[in-house]
Every structure is written in C-alpha cells, then in structure tokens.
C-alpha cells in the first residue's frame, strides 16, 4: 500500500514529536523480501527485495530521513515522498553504507523494531539484526533499543477519516447481530451454531463486507472457536463474538441473548445477576478509559467490580486496540501479568485510538453447573477527555422465544 498522507505527515513534520514521545534519538527499519517488517508499508518499504534500511533521526544537527537500498529498489522509495536522501548500493552491498549513515545518527538511543511483547513492533528478523550489528560494530550496536512505543504511536492511532469508516463497520456489525439473534433465525431445538453463523455470514456478504471472525457459543464457555454443530436449546445463554472487515477496517463486538424455555418470561436470577455485574464492570471500564490512563488502569476498574461481587476475575484482558486488525497494535486493557501481557498494559492511552472493551463475568450455568460467561463488547473512540461509544449499547440481555420448535 502507498504511504498514507497522514503517516507521511507524521514522519516528516511530526518526526521530532514522535521520537520525543518514544524517548528515542533515531529509528531504523531494516527489512527485505520474505521477512518483511510489518511496519514496512508505513515507511514505503514493503516492496523491498534486497536489504533495505530506513533511517529517521538527527544527522549533522538536522532531522533526516534516509533510505539505503539496492540499486533496483529505489523507485518505490522515491515515490513515497518520505526520504530526503536515497543511498543505492551495488556489488559492495549495504554494509559500508549502514556503517556510515548509522554512525552519523546522533544520540544514544536508536530504536529498532524488536519487541518482547508487541508483535507489530517485532519485525526485525534475527539474521537481519545480526547483519546490522556486524555492519556497525559493537559500540554503535550498544545504542540499539526497542522502538515499540514509536511503532504503537505511529500505527495505533486512527485518523478522523478512519474513525468514520470504522464506525460504519461497527454499525453494520451491530445491525447484523440484532437481526440474527431472533426467533426467525434461532429455532430452539433445531438451529445449530454453525447454521446461525451461516446466516450472519450471508448478511455480512450481502452488505459487501467480509466476516473477519465469528464465534458463536451456547453451553459451556469455549473461548475463541468456530461455530459448532451444537443445537441451540431452550434455556441456553447464546453468546456471539463477531467482527467484519469494511473498507479495510475491522469491528469487534459481543452480544448475549437468552433462549426462553416454555413458561419463562426472563432468564433465571443467577444469569441476570451475572449480567448486571458485567454491565457494572463495563461502565467502570469506560469511566477509566481516557487519554493518559494505561490499560492497567482500565482493567483494574472493571476487575474490581467483578471480584467485589464475588466472582473470580476474568482470565483475560478487559479489551484491546482496534483498527486495520481486530487486535491492533496499542495498549492492552489488561492486568499486570508480565508473562502474558508484558509492557503492553503500561502503554499510555492516546486520543484517536479505538478500543474494543470487553470485561466479562464467568460463573456456573444454573441448569448444568457448567461454566458460562456473560459477553458484552463495545467499540469506543478515545476523545480529549474520555471515550465515545460507537453505535448502540446493549443494556439488557436479548430474549429469544424458544417455546416452539419451528
């Protein structure tokens, strides 16, 4: 994809601020074919064949943007409009040019795309890093640090135009969920998870979009999984986790319905209590979700509600960033579990980011005793002083008449 106008502006006019926020003096993207850095499209380097280095930082006292590439890889870089200087190499290879230009980068902290915890910021292959360190020597290599915060800031925020597209994706997803979770499509005692999934897929494709993922769960909690041949029965709590891709951006919502058994007009009290606690946890998460907070702050607010009501804490995060991927690069709204989420829960939340917010309550099914969960997940945009819900909330469990087997 060509470098967007927004990312070109950030990497030119906004480069000093981007580096400052990440506590870096410079940044190097080093990539090649077959092991392309996922950040390469944002710096015009996704079409690299041979080794290609993109350098950003101060050289001779001024901010500079330099690309070092094979002589046949220059055109895409020129067309990107990003670089003040393109340095082609021939039979001598990249090594002498890497040594020269990285040696001219000023400062003690040069960021590389190597990260323990953030996949999007971990695009530097081991062999490429070895070549880079061999090229510049141990003294300069000692200045290399992770560029993960810079990658999060560059890739994770959405432009107003992207927010508009993503909002439309969310609205379409909500409409499909509401239209599907009714007795016409959920025939108690007959419809399987897989059949309901097929209905939702047809609705999505009829709108010109594609299903990015679809999980339908009745009976015991399964986590992330495809719909099965399990039949939806009266008395089931029906949970869907569903997202579409619309014009390159993704939605991610969860909705919960209850299939009424004959004679019922509402779910059992144990289920409605789980729902009430889950709603309170969700509201607490939204109240903590604002610029400058961390994902840990948001998770703590929601988790305290769940555990304070006597339920075990949910075994995952309370949410994640959303954008060109369902799990976009950005802060994880999660607990301080270093071996699962690492540093991602400590990243600051920024205005313009979009999150899927999904704290949950887990408890026993009052009929079978099997573990089930209450799932409500909404997508929100971070504003200057908080967050804004996209589309409609689900304030009550949706009820499906399960009294007849149609």
Tens digit of pLDDT for each residue in 332-378?
A: 999 999 999 999 999 999 999 999 999 999 999 998 899 999 989 99
Tens digit of pLDDT for each residue in 236-270?
A: 999 999 999 999 999 999 999 999 999 999 999 99
Tens digit of pLDDT for each residue in 36-59?
A: 999 999 999 999 999 999 999 999
Arch. (CATH architecture) of 5-155 = 3-Layer(aba) Sandwich (3.40)
pLDDT at 406 over 70: no
d(CA 273, CA 352): 34
Phi and psi dihedrals of 307, rounded to 5? Answer: -70, -30
The domain spans of the chain are 5-155, 157-401
What is the mean predicted confidence (pLDDT) over 136-151?
96
d(CA 209, CA 324): 14
Residues 6+ apart with CB under 8 A from 332: 295, 317, 319, 320, 321, 341, 344, 345, 347
Length of the chain: 406
d(CA 262, CA 239): 20
Ramachandran assignment for 405, one of left (phi > 0), alpha (psi -120 to 50 degrees), beta (any other): beta
What is the mean predicted confidence (pLDDT) over 318-329?
96
d(CA 220, CA 124): 41
State both tokens at 49. Answer: 């064949």
Q: Does domain 157-401 have CATH number 3.30.230.10?
A: no
246 in helix, strand or coil? strand
State both tokens at 383. Answer: 């504003």
Q: Is the pTM of this model over 0.85?
A: yes
């Amino acid at each position: 994809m060509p470098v967007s106008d927004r990312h070109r502006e950030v990497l030119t006019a906004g480069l000093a601020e981007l580096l400052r926020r990440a506590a870096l003096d410079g940044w190097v993207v080093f990539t090649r074919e077959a092991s392309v850095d996922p950040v390469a499209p944002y710096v015009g380097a996704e079409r690299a064949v041979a080794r290609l280095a993109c350098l950003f930082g101060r050289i001779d006292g001024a901010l500079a943007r330099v690309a070092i590439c094979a002589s046949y890889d220059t055109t895409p870089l020129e067309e990107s409009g990003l670089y003040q200087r393109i340095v082609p190499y021939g039979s001598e290879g990249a090594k002498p040019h890497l040594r020269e230009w990285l040696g001219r980068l000023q400062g003690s902290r040069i960021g590389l795309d190597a990260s323990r915890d953030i996949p999007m910021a971990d695009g530097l292959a081991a062999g490429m890093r070895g070549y880079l360190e061999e090229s510049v020597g141990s003294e300069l290599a000692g200045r290399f640090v992770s560029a993960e915060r810079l990658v999060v800031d560059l890739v994770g925020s959405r432009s107003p135009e992207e927010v508009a597209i993503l909002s439309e994706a969310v609205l379409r997803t909500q409409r499909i969920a509401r239209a599907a979770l009714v007795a016409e499509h959920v025939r108690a005692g007959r419809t399987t998870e897989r059949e309901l999934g097929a209905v939702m897929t047809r609705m999505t494709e009829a709108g010109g979009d594609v299903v990015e993922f679809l999980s339908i769960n009745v009976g015991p909690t399964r986590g992330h999984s495809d719909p099965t041949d399990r039949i939806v029965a009266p008395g089931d709590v029906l949970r869907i986790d569903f997202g579409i891709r619309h014009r390159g951006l993704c939605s991610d919502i969860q909705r919960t319905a209850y299939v009424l058994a004959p004679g019922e007009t509402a779910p059992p009290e144990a289920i409605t209590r789980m729902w009430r606690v889950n709603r309170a946890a969700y509201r607490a998460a939204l109240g903590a979700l604002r610029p400058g907070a961390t994902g840990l702050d948001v998770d703590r607010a929601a988790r305290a509600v769940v555990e304070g009501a006597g339920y075990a804490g949910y075994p995952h995060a309370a949410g994640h960033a959303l954008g060109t991927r369902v799990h976009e690069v950005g802060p994880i709204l999660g607990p301080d579990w270093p071996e699962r989420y690492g540093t991602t829960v400590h990243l600051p939340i920024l205005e313009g980011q979009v999150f899927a917010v999904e704290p949950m309550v887990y408890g026993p099914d009052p009929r079978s005793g099997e573990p089930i969960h209450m799932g409500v997940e909404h997508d929100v945009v971070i504003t200057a002083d908080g967050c804004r819900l996209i589309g409609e909330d689900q304030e009550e469990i949706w009820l499906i008449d399960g009294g007849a087997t149609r």
